[in-house]
Structure 1
Amino acid sequence: MNIGKIEDGITKILVSNSSKVSLFIIEKLDTKDGLDYISHKPSLDLELQKEIIKVIKPTLSKIKNTEQIEFNENGRPNGVVEWCKKDYVGVSLERLLNSLKEDMRKEKLIDSDKKDIYCIRIEIDSGEYVYFLNRIPQLRKFEKGIWGRLVDSTFKKTTNAFIGIEPNFDLIIYQEEILVVNNVAMQRIFDLRTKYIENANSVLSSFEDSEKIEGFEQFKMDSIEDGNVVKRVSRLMEKPERMTRFIDNFDKVEQIIIEFDLNIELNAEKTKIKYTDKKQLNDIVKLLNDAYYKTVLSGEKGVDELR
């Protein structure tokens, strides 16, 4: 993502005195058709729009020169940000952006106390928008209490309708890309677990025909139910060649099990993996992802935890 262009665009807005900044408060809804969103657009005067830009601009400048790598469901190294195409998220993103349109917005949120996300939309060029998304902390323990503030040593009661605009943000959406500043937020804002389950089901259904796992039905069920494992299996949807290598090179599996001391057992004929326990899940799925390696120079063994 071209962060420099975004930074230049919002800098011009600061000196132009033009109204280019919008704020949306967004509520997530679970529907029978999946995740949906309801948005409300409070009014912002010009001075407040400038203040919002001043709050987020330093963070934008900070990440401008940060390395960008492809989004990985399983995590990432320190000191980088991630990116993905908008179609990686699919319908959830379409629904969120659609909720921001004037004819789709609600005058008030369905539940004024349930505010899940805020979105700052900035028009950096004519008809060209950049979106900054951030999750809103839910302070539920105060729902039945009293909010207040000190004014001249006097406690004044106020409402609990607080929204904090932070310097940091979870995601940036611009043109056809999403910049993922917060990996976990990406998964939660768009409920990607549903996507991972669908992908994993598809991957495992295709893999079943290989007949390389004894006790496959239990293995499949346990994989889908485990939040971390299902992401690793889902990733095989994007890397099908790993599954092919596993099947074609199954004769090497026993050697890998021994060298890395894996919690994996083969059948008597050594033609299948015997799945009997959830404790085997991680080792098996990492094996499917070809995560075990040995370096060329020193023969040092290791595990790629991002596979």
Structure 2
Amino acid sequence: MEIRPIIQMLDDPDKSIDVRLYFTRKRINNRYTSFSPSIEPELQKELVKIVRDALAEVVDKEQRNYSPVGTIDGVIEHCAVNGIDSFQEILRSMDEDVAIRRPITSEEIKKLNFYCLKIYIDNAEEMLIFRRVTKFNRLSKGMVGFFVNNDFKKLESDLLGIDKNIDLLVKNNEVLVMNHIALERIFSVQEQFVGKATETLNIVERSNRITNFDQFREDCLGNARIVRALTKILENEERVQQCFENFENVIQVVDIFELDINFEEGNNAIIYEDKSQLLDITRLIRDSFYRSLINSREGIDEGI
């Protein structure tokens, strides 16, 4: 995503900019509730400045495709909106006839997960800014207050914070990911990962090369790191289908790298025994073991 043109639009005094603010909580069954408070023009300007300054900090950073297994320091990511299952449901919660406009109660504040800024430029161009909510709970003892005309007033309700950072920017059906974990938390993609990992496991199961497969599947889906790796593997489905076609190579890799993996009599299948084998078997599926061309150096792609 090109960041500099966005900054230029936000800086352009001739552009008409309108901002709407939504606070959102996730409910059960992947449903969302959004509250839409009114915001004064001066606050809108401050919010736009927060977005503009946050983008300026990453304008020259390298961008890469989003990877479920993690990101690299100093690099930001991007992905397509259509790859996020919950996105449309979140947008629906912000529709004009759906978003709640009454005051948010103290109990509701405690359940909020994130906020979203909808920024309209010249009543046409639209971008969405997402940030996880910062909550300031009241002191367990004592009180929080403020001064009004030299009178100290007790603050009766919980506070919400909007800081100088942003997590995600959505524009033209593309997501700019400035905080890797925030994408997963805001859009609940961990549940999506489990679905993708299950697809990968279904392909592997059809190879009939792993015994005790039901236990292997259960242990994989109970391990967040393995789930992410299996999700990433599915980006190349053909590679998954081919992972155990040359099974003699699998046996050779296990021998070369001295992996704690045993085979059935006849060397036709891996014997899955316990969770300690999950990482090595996942690496076999991913074809992560290699020998370099020049020095015949043996190594492991540490992508998981």
Residue 144 of structure 2 aligns with an amino acid whose one-letter code is G
2:57 aligns to what?
Answer: 62
Partner residue, 2:184: 187
- Pick one of 26, 29, 40 that aligns with 1:28: 26
Which residue pairs with 2:279 in the alignment? Answer: 282
Distance change >3 Å, CA 297–CA 65, structure 1 → 2: same
**CA positional deviation for 1:303:** 2.6
Percent identity over paired residues: 29
RMSD of the alignment, in Å? 2.3
Please tell me whether residue 101 in structure 1 is matched to residue 101 in structure 2: no
Single out whichever of 229-238 and 63-72 deviates more from structure 2. Answer: 229-238
1:36-91 per-residue CA deviation (whole Å, 9 max, x = no partner) reads: 2111111111111111122232220121221111111110121111111111102x
Which structure 2 segments of 5+ residues have no match? none
Cα pair distance change 1:10/1:280, threshold 3 Å: same
In the superposition, relative to structure 1, how do residues 250 and 155 fare at CA in structure 2: closer, same or farther (>3 Å)?
A: farther
1:210 aligned to 207, 210, 235, which one?
207
Change (3 A) 1:119 1:198: same
Deviation at 1:277, TM superposition (A): 0.2
Q: Distance in 1 between matches of 2:46 and 2:274?
A: 55
CA contact (8 A) 2:18 2:120 kept: yes
Tell me, in whole angstroms, the C-alpha distance in 1 between the residues paired with 2:301 and 2:177.
Answer: 21
State how 1:88-237 maps to structure 2 within 5 Å: 88-90=83-85, 92-108=86-102, 109=104, 111-138=108-135, 142=138, 147-149=143-145, 151=147, 156-237=153-234
With over 3 angstroms needed to count, the CA separation of the structure-2 counterparts of 1:27 and 1:103, relative to structure 1, is: same
For residues 72 and 282 of structure 1, what CA distance do their matches in structure 2 show? 18
Q: Equivalent residue for 1:10?
A: 10
What is the CA-CA distance between 1:25 and the residue it aligns to? 0.9
The answer to whether residue 267 in structure 2 is matched with residue 270 in structure 1 is yes
1:48 paired with 2:46, answer no
Post-superposition Cα deviations, 1:127-162, rounded to whole Å, max 9, x if no partner, equal 22111101113556x486555145499864213432
The aligned residue for residue 77 of structure 1 is: 72
Unmatched 5+ stretches in structure 1: none
Larger deviation: 169-178 or 241-250?
241-250
For residues 142 and 32 of structure 2, the distance between their equivalents in structure 1, rounded to whole angstroms, comes to 29
SS at match of 1:232: helix
SS at match of 1:122: strand
Q: Check 1:235–1:19 CA distance in 2 against 1; reply closer, same or farther (3 A cut).
A: closer
CA distance in 2, matches of 1:177, 1:55: 21
Distance 1:305 1:170, change over 3 A: farther
* SS of the residue 1:213 aligns to: coil
Shift of 1:291: 1.8
The question of 1:260 aligning with 2:257 is answered yes
CA distance, structure 2, for counterparts of residue 167 and residue 298 of structure 1 = 49
Could you tell me how far apart the structure 2 residues matched to 1:122 and 1:16 are?
15
CA distance in 2: counterparts of 1:150 and 1:296, whole angstroms: 69
Q: Which secondary structure state, in structure 2, belongs to the residue aligned with residue 305 of structure 1?
A: coil
- For residue 211 of structure 1, what is the amino acid of its counterpart? N
- Whether the 8 Å contact between 2:77 and 2:178 is mirrored in structure 1 is yes
For residue 27 of structure 1, what is the amino acid of its counterpart?
R
Q: Distance in 2 between the 1:113 and 1:132 partners?
A: 21
SS of the aligned residue for 1:64 comes to coil
Structure 2 length as normaliser, TM-score? 0.90
Structure 1 residue 119, shift from structure 2 partner: 0.9
Q: Cα 1:147–1:115, aligned 2, differ >3 Å: closer, same or farther?
A: farther
Name the CA shift for 1:145/1:23 in 2 (closer, same or farther; >3 Å): farther
Displacement after TM superposition at 1:125 (Å): 4.2
Following superposition, the deviation at residue 304 of structure 1 comes to: 2.5
